């Protein structure tokens, strides 16, 4: 069992985040435990652990008369700790996000608990529920049976529908402080009888407010038989040849794809945890960025501010994708390749017409005057229209695909499988063939990016509406080249081919 699981807190007073310990402690002491909670906060901050503790509080056999800390000895407590209590149900909303899942849940909720006092539903990543599913859940939250308690956990509370948020007691799990992570590491060190604990504060510093990451780093050091003094740990984590962030950044700043990929491969072959590696990259970039804006942080002269921000964005999304990656290093490799390629297709300003939204001061120059280095010359890609477009023709559709590609490849991939149905001057309706695609496209972030690009191409603010189509439905669309559309001077054969197929040319 990993350290993180082995040493996960079993009581409220064991919880390492101060404000969570306090709030839950007060609620339990009040004797009135709400029927629905929302635990929100970053990953690895102990939301699931706290949810299980709460499930024990309401079901512990020692708590029959009065709520208090769970005894962790009775059969209820023990089975919840083991994860085998049939009345404590943990669901991952990412894989049970549909309306049918929630309907099944609604029916199950009505049934009395098998052996516990309360059935506890712990719904992880609750923001992943579809709108329909969330609305169905809402009905249950409005009139819950007495024997049920819900604990929704999420890393993105703002994505939950407001009506749900207003019906739950929200407990905010802030990113842990270094002291809090160190406290949890000290418990592990005690439990494992580890000598030499100088490295704990260093690990706490490197774990970015995540108990899980902290425990993982400590475990890695122990497995690799590294002494836990500051010097050896520091050396292992950041100075090893196989883990050379400076080297990687230097290849990236030279846009040397091959060497950068080789650097990553080296780290993989050396068995470095890619999560730790990625967060080390991000921490170095953050340092460099802070330095650029005049704050404390180590300088990185080879990259300018815009470049650092672009790299941070790429590695942040790699870090997110890392968790579910089939091939472990793939997200990092994609980030590297996108970075080295994207430099040459970034939209640039063209005369008096502004194309790009951020950063540029209107002359196509970098606003960051503190930089001695010039921005790399970029190929010109023009995405905007001279006039407002009235119809979404094949050419327009191709332009939308081309414009979105350098910004977000997954939206582009989704659009390839969609079809423009109509455009009424305000709303562009797309026909989508799979529910999953529709949900992905309707994701708030995706939608915002897409609407931004479409607005630029069509020359007016545009909303996107997605309709789930019958697979056979034939769409009749006018295919008529429009003069007012300025085609890019960068063409992409592949995209054009796909657009032709869709338009039946
Ligand atoms: Zn108990």
Secondary structure, 3-state, 409-457:
HHHHHHHHCEEEEEECCCEEEEEECCHHHHHHHHCHHHHHHHHHHHHHH
Question: Contact 350/380 with Cβ under 8 angstroms?
Answer: yes
Cα dist. 355→223, 361, 428 in Å? 52, 11, 21
Q: What is the pLDDT along the chain (505 residues), one digit of tens a residue?
A: 889 889 999 999 999 899 999 999 999 999 999 999 999 998 888 999 999 999 999 999 999 889 999 999 999 999 999 989 999 999 888 777 777 888 888 888 889 999 999 999 999 989 888 888 888 888 888 888 999 999 999 988 988 888 899 999 999 998 889 999 999 999 999 999 998 888 999 899 888 788 988 998 899 889 888 888 888 888 777 654 456 788 899 999 988 999 999 988 888 876 677 888 898 899 899 989 999 998 887 888 889 999 999 999 999 989 888 877 788 889 999 999 999 887 544 433 333 333 333 344 444 334 343 333 333 333 333 334 446 777 888 888 888 888 888 778 788 888 888 888 888 888 899 988 888 888 888 888 888 888 888 888 888 888 898 888 765 434 444 434 333 333 343 445 655 665 665 555 4
Question: Contact 375/463 with Cβ under 8 angstroms?
Answer: no
Q: How many residues does the chain have?
A: 505
As given in the structure block, the two tokens for residue 308 are 């650092």
Q: How close is the Cα of 88 to the center of ligand 1, in Å?
A: 14
Bridge partners (DSSP) listed for residue 38: 152, 170
152 by DSSP, 3-state: which? strand
Question: Other CB atoms closer than 10 Å to residue 137's CB: what's the count?
Answer: 29
Q: Do 3-172 and 394-502 come out as alike in CATH topology?
A: no
Q: Which CATH architecture has domain 3-172?
A: 3-Layer(aba) Sandwich (3.40)
Predicted local distance difference test score (pLDDT) of residue 436? 80
Nearest to 280 by CA among 251, 330, 318: 318
Q: How close is the Cα of 2 to the center of ligand 1, in Å?
A: 24
Q: How close is the Cα of 57 to the center of ligand 1, in Å?
A: 8
Q: How close is the Cα of 71 to the center of ligand 1, in Å?
A: 4
Tell how far CA 112 is from the center of its chain: 36
80 by DSSP, 3-state: which? helix
Q: How close is the Cα of 215 to the center of ligand 1, in Å?
A: 27
Question: Contact 504/402 with Cβ under 8 angstroms?
Answer: no
Tell how far CA 34 is from the center of its chain: 29
Cα dist. 328→221, 268, 285, 343 in Å? 20, 9, 22, 25
Q: How close is the Cα of 48 to the center of ligand 1, in Å?
A: 18
Place of tokens 């970053």: 42
Q: How close is the Cα of 58 to the center of ligand 1, in Å?
A: 9
Question: Contact 398/495 with Cβ under 8 angstroms?
Answer: yes
Q: How close is the Cα of 224 to the center of ligand 1, in Å?
A: 37
Q: How close is the Cα of 82 to the center of ligand 1, in Å?
A: 13
Q: How close is the Cα of 69 to the center of ligand 1, in Å?
A: 8
The CATH number assigned to the domain with range 243-342 reads: 1.20.272.10
Distance, in Å, from the CA atom of 332 to the CA atom of 330, rounded to the nearest integer, reads 5
Q: Which CATH architecture has domain 178-239?
A: Orthogonal Bundle (1.10)
Q: How close is the Cα of 495 to the center of ligand 1, in Å?
A: 61
CATH match of 394-502 with 3.30.300.180? yes
What residue segments make up the domains of the chain, in order of their start?
3-172, 178-239, 243-342, 394-502
What is the sign, positive or negative, of the torsion defined by CA atoms of 49, 54, 60, 62? positive
**Residue 129 — left, alpha, or beta (φ > 0 → left; ψ -120 to 50 → alpha)?**
beta
Q: How close is the Cα of 168 to the center of ligand 1, in Å?
A: 25
Q: How close is the Cα of 263 to the center of ligand 1, in Å?
A: 51
pTM: 0.51
Q: How close is the Cα of 172 to the center of ligand 1, in Å?
A: 26
Nearest to 233 by CA among 251, 207, 208: 207
As given in the structure block, the two tokens for residue 42 are 């970053």
Q: How close is the Cα of 113 to the center of ligand 1, in Å?
A: 17
């Amino acid at each position: 069992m990993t350290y993180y699981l082995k040493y996960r807190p079993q009581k409220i007073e064991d919880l390492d985040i101060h404000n969570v310990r306090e709030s839950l402690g007060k609620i339990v002491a009040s004797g009135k435990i709400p029927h629905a909670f929302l635990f929100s906060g970053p990953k690895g901050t102990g939301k699931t652990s706290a949810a299980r503790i709460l499930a024990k509080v309401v079901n512990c056999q020692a708590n029959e008369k009065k709520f208090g800390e769970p005894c962790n000895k009775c059969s209820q407590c023990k089975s919840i700790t083991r994860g085998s209590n049939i009345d404590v149900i943990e669901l991952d909303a990412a894989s049970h996000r549909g309306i049918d899942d929630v309907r099944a849940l609604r029916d199950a909720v009505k049934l009395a608990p098998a052996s516990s006092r309360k059935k506890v539903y712990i719904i992880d990543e609750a923001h992943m529920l579809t709108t329909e599913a969330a609305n169905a859940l809402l009905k249950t939250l409005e009139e819950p049976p007495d024997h049920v308690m819900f604990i929704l956990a999420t890393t993105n509370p703002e994505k939950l529908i407001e009506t749900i948020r207003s019906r739950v007691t929200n407990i905010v799990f802030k990113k842990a402080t270094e002291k809090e992570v160190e406290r949890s590491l000290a418990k592990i060190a005690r439990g494992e009888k580890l000598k030499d604990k100088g490295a704990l504060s260093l690990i706490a510093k490197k774990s970015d407010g995540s108990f899980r990451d902290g425990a993982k780093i400590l475990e890695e050091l122990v497995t690799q038989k590294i002494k836990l003094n500051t010097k050896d740990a520091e050396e292992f984590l950041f100075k090893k040849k196989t883990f050379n962030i400076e080297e990687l950044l230097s290849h990236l700043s030279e846009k040397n794809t091959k060497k950068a990929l080789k650097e990553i491969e080296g780290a993989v072959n050396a068995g470095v945890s890619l999560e730790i590696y990625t967060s080390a990259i991000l921490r170095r970039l953050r340092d460099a960025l802070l330095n650029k804006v005049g704050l404390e942080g180590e300088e990185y002269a080879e990259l300018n501010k815009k470049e650092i921000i672009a790299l941070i964005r790429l590695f942040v999304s790699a870090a997110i994708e890392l968790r579910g990656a089939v091939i472990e290093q793939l997200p990092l490799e994609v980030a590297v390749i996108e970075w080295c390629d994207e430099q040459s297709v970034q939209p640039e300003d063209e005369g008096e017409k502004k194309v790009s939204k951020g950063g540029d001061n209107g002359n196509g120059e970098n606003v960051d005057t503190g930089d001695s280095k010039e921005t790399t010359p970029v190929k010109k890609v023009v995405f905007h229209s001279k006039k407002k477009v009235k119809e979404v023709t094949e050419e327009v559709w191709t332009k939308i695909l081309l414009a979105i590609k350098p910004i977000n490849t997954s939206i582009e991939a989704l659009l390839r499988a969609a079809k423009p149905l109509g455009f009424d001057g305000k709303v562009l309706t797309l026909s989508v063939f799979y529910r999953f695609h529709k949900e992905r496209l309707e994701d708030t972030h995706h939608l915002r990016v897409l609407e931004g690009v479409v607005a630029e191409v069509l020359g007016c603010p545009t909303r996107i509406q997605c309709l789930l189509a019958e697979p056979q439905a034939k769409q009749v669309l006018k295919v008529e080249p429009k003069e007012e559309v300025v085609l890019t001077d960068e063409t992409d054969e592949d995209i054009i081919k796909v657009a032709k197929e869709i338009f039946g040319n």
